[in-house]
Every structure is written in C-alpha cells, then in structure tokens.
Structure 1
Amino acid sequence: MDTIRQCIAGLLVAFVFGAAYVFEARLSDIYKEINEELSIVRLKNKELQTKVETLEEFEKKRGEKLTKRVEVVEKSLDNVEEYRQKVNLIQTSVSSIKNNVNKNHENLEQQLKKIKSLQDTGPTFVRWGRTDCPGTSILVYKGYAAGSHYLHKGGVSNFICLPEEPQWGDRTPTVHLAFAYGTEYESNMFGENAHQQDVPCSVCQTKTGINSIMIPGRTVCYDGWTLQYKGYLGAGYHDHPSATEYICVDENIQSVPGGFENKDGKLIYPVVAKCGALRCSPYIENKPLTCVVCTK
C-alpha cells in the first residue's frame, strides 16, 4: 500500500511539476505576446504622437497664417476706409468743380448772348435830310428835323428828329413855354431846288459796332471805321440870334412832301471854312465843309 501511495505521490509530484513547467512556458509565451503588443502599441502611440505634433505644428502655422491674413484684412479695411474718405473728398471736389463749370458755362452763355447782341446791333445815329437808312443799318424811326426858331434869343442849339407819329400826354401848359419848329433848307447847295424845302430825318441803328461819330471835313472814314453816310456840314446862320449846332446833311437829300412853303423855323445853311486861326492849307477860304458819319 505504501508503495502504491508512494507511486501515486510521485505521479502527483511529477504531474504538478509538469503542469507548472507547462504553465510557466505558457506564461512566458503570453508575456512575449504582451511585450510584442506593447511594442506595437508604443510604436503606434509614437506615430500618433508624431502625427499630433505634426497637426499641432500645422495648426500653429495655419493659425499664424490666419492671423497674418486677419491683419492684412484689417489693414485692407483701414485702407478701404481711407480710400472711401478720399473718394468722398474727390466726389465733393468733383461736385464743386461741376457747379463751378456750370456757373462758368452760364456766365459764358450770358456773355456770348451779350456779344451776339452787340454783334447784331450797334449804336444809333441821325441821318439828316433822309427818311431811310443805309444798308449797313436798320431804321428805328423816321420823321421831321426840328428845333428852335432862328430869331429866338433863348432858342436851344441842337436839332431834334421828331417822329412822324407822335404820342401825347394829358397835361396842358399855359405860360413860360419853349418851342419846336420844323426845319428848312436855306440853300440849293444841299440839293436841287432844296431852298425853303422842309427837312426830313431818320434815326438808324447800325448792325455792328459800339461807337458812332460825325467827322467834319471828311468824305471817307478813317481806317477801321465804317461809313454810314456822307454829305455837307450844316448849321444856323452866323448872324441869327438863336443858338445852333453843326449837323451832317446827307449829300443826296430828300424833302418833306408838301413842305416847300417859306415858313421858316429852324434853318440850315451850308458851313464854309474861314481862314485865320483855322489853317488855310489844308483848308480853303469859303469852301463848303463836307462830313461823314462813321461807326466802329
């Protein structure tokens, strides 16, 4: 029995030692497997760490780029605001310039209108002895040469051209009056059968120019001036008491129809040169003085 027990005990011991050996070998394999897995995990962890670091570096760089872009955008926005202000200033300046241009344009148009009006119309003059105007002017009105009576000591000096169609006011004077008489030619030198004929007149406006002048002692105008008409110098008689003035009587006179009666009034005589203070040469004693009416 003891031998059997010893055998069984030996077997049990052998089984235990064998099982322990097998278990130890299995543990060794498991340990190796675990170490291999740990190595793989460490390697993957390292790879993941590298990727994380790479991602962090990428994010850092991207963040820096975004920051720079934000700075650029903010700076651009600042520039945009500055440009906007400059644009507003330019627009204001352009608007002001446009207003000035419009005002200057209006002023120029007004000045052009004035210039055009000056080009279309010029000064006026009286054509004594005619009822029409030369081709260089237009007729304003026609009428009768008039003035003070040649015997009136208080008579006015100037001739006036009364229109053919007078208009009257409603007042009536009583005393202390002045008078206007018709005018007569007192010499046939002015024209054939002119003596005692009544004198017509016309007021003319030139188509160009701004000045008019009567030049005695000339048959043509000076350079730069336009001839309107020419004729002979006329005035009142030197020994009559009424004052007088010199006028230019057209060389081709007309007469007032039916005005051939000798009723006197204001009279026109030829004007001749008298030597003395007036230089004879170039002037000639008792030579009738010519005249021209000129415009410019």
Structure 2
Amino acid sequence: MTQFVWFLVYTAVVFCRDFGTENVDKRILLNDPDLFNTQIQAIQRELETVKSQLATQVNINNAQQAEIDYLKRVTDNQHTTQGSTYTIWGKTHCPPKNGTGTVYSGIAGGGYYDKPGNGANTLCLPHNPDPAPSDFPTHFQHNDRAASSFIYGAEYQYTYKNIAVDDDVPCAICSVAHASSVIMIPAKMTCPTGWSKEYAGVLTAPAQWSGHRIGEYLCVDQNAEYLGEGTRQQNYDGTLFYPVQAACGSLPCPPFTSSQLIACVVCSK
C-alpha cells in the first residue's frame, strides 16, 4: 500500500513538471486531496482535447480521401470517354487500325448537282433508315405551290483503281477512341508530327461548271469502293464528286502547279 501511494505521488510530480508547473511546489502532501484532484482533472481535460483533435483530423483525412476518390473517378471517366468521330468517303467501313471502329456504314447523299436550294453539305445516310413521325405532313405549300427539299445519292465523276464514273459513293462513320481531335488537311498525304493518319486520298467537290450548285470539299479514300453491283455506272446524277484541281493566281504556283490534282489526308490526335 505504501509503495502504491508513493507511486501516485511520483506520478503527480511528473505530470506537474510536464505541464509547465515548475513553479508549483513539488511537495505534494498526501493529506491534500484537492491539489491531487486538480492535477487529475487537468490531465483528463488535456486527454479530451487530444481526442477531439484526433477526431477532427480523422474527419479531415476522410474528406480529403473522398475528394481524391472523386477526382480519380472523373479522370478515369474522361479517359474512357475520350474520342472523336469522322466520315470516311468512298469506303464501306473504317480503316482497320487500333482504336478506330465503324459506327455505321452508309450511302453518300446530298442535293441534286444543278438544283438551287436543298442542303449544301453532304451526308452519310444509313442503310436502315427509320421513317419520320407518322403524323408529320407530307405536302407543303408556299405561295400556292408545292414546296419541298430532296436528298439524292452521290456518284463519282472520275475513274480510278476500283471505281468508275457514275459508280455510287459509299461512306462510313468512324469513331477514334485514342483521339480527341480529327482534321482533314488538303494538299497533303501525310500528317503533321504527333498526329496519326486515318486515311488519305483525293479532294473532291461539285464541278465549277455553270448551273452546278455550291457544295463541300470532301476527302475520298485513295482506295475508294462503290455501292452495289447492280447499280454500277448508271447515271442518276444527284450529288457529284469531281476531283479538285489547282488554279494558279491568288493560289501561288509554285508551290502548287496549274491543274494539279489536290490530295488530302485525315489525321487524328
């Protein structure tokens, strides 16, 4: 019992010293319970403070970890959803290369070559079209005349490798999982440093002849294909793909040359 009492006395002295109580009389009397209780209460308060600080730090750590997990999910999601799309003209499917897939194979189409109006851009129409809403009107009147817009198929107006004049033009919509940007560069067959080549070919557009409507410059694959054995070289016109040539003047020659056929390349990054 005496040893235990002296142990308590020694402990109280140590705690008094550790908490900056050097100026307090270290001679603790055993018959002074108030002083002893005061020191014990001070220790208990200090322990409660430490516990509170630890709990606060745990909450902060948990919040920081939750934010780290959230940012990681966002980064992973951005990585998995990264990608871009482009249209390849003259092919039924997209290039067989890593990271590039065919969304759908289609039919090139647009406005009639010599008609005003309609859309100026060329579209890649799917092989399995869905009808418009059944209650949508089928006749439109403007100034007492029937008015409407039409879309036609497309035909090549040149012969090269596997295709001939009046062959119908296929197309495909391609997805590029490894890239966020896709560009078409005219007058080039190779891509800039750091870019990957999707395909290369010849630049086409509607003819410059009088009566032909304005259209787009489109890059047709150098190994173009045609649609349907049964419709080869049947002249239905529609949207027409003519090769583009250089015209010297405001276009400097050199580096271009007069009547030079213009190449093109589609690049991704």
Give 1:215 deviation, angstroms.
0.4
Alpha-carbon contact 2:163-2:226 (below 8 Å) kept: no
Residue 264 of structure 1 corresponds to which residue in structure 2? 237
Matched AA of 2:89: W
Instruction: Report how far residue 271 of structure 1 moved.
Output: 0.2
Match of 2:90 in 1: 129
Alignment gaps of 5+ in structure 2: 1-26, 141-146
Q: 1:116 to 1:69 in 2, by over 3 A?
A: farther
Match 1:71 to one of 29, 35, 42: 35
SS of the equivalent of 2:121 reads: coil
The AA in structure 2 aligned to 1:286 is S
Partner of 1:217: 187
SS state at 1:65 partner: coil
Are residues 1:174 and 2:139 paired? yes
What are the Cα deviations for residues 40-66 of structure 1, in whole angstroms up to 9, with x where unaligned? Answer: xxxxxxxxxxxxxxxxxxxxxxx9621
The answer to whether the Cα contact below 8 Å between 1:156 and 1:242 also exists between their aligned partners in 2 is no
205, 221, 235: which is aligned to 1:235? Answer: 205
Matched with 2:223 is 252
Residue number in structure 2 paired with 1:283: 256
Choose which of 159, 164, 167 in structure 2 pairs with 1:197: 167
Q: Within 5 A, what are the aligned runs for 1:84-163? A: 84-118=48-82, 122-134=83-95, 135-136=97-98, 137-163=100-126
Quote how far apart the aligned CAs of 1:99 are.
2.4
Q: What do residues 116-162 of structure 1 show as CA deviations (whole Å, max 9, x unaligned)?
A: 332xxx10000000011111410000110000001112232211000
What does residue 38 of structure 1 align with?
none
Residue 226 of structure 1 corresponds to which residue in structure 2?
A: 196
Rounded to whole Å, the distance in 2 between the matches of 1:192 and 1:115 is 39
User: Any conservation in 2 of the 1:185–1:197 contact (CA below 8 Å)?
Assistant: yes
Tell whether the 8 Å contact from 1:129 to 1:201 is kept in structure 2 after alignment. yes
Distance in 2 of aligned mates of 1:290 and 1:165: 32
Structure with max Cα Rg:
1
Q: Secondary structure at the match of 2:231?
A: coil
Normalising to structure 1: TM-score of the pair?
Answer: 0.73
Greater helix share, structure number:
1
2: distance between equivalents of 1:64 and 1:93? 37
Aligned with 1:188: secondary structure?
Answer: coil
Percent identical: 30
Aligned equivalents of 2:255 and 2:103: distance in 1?
Answer: 38
Q: Is the 8 A contact 2:86 2:182 kept in 1?
A: yes
Aligned to 1:57: none
Q: Distance in 1 between matches of 2:28 and 2:117?
A: 112
Q: Which amino acid aligns with 2:109?
A: A
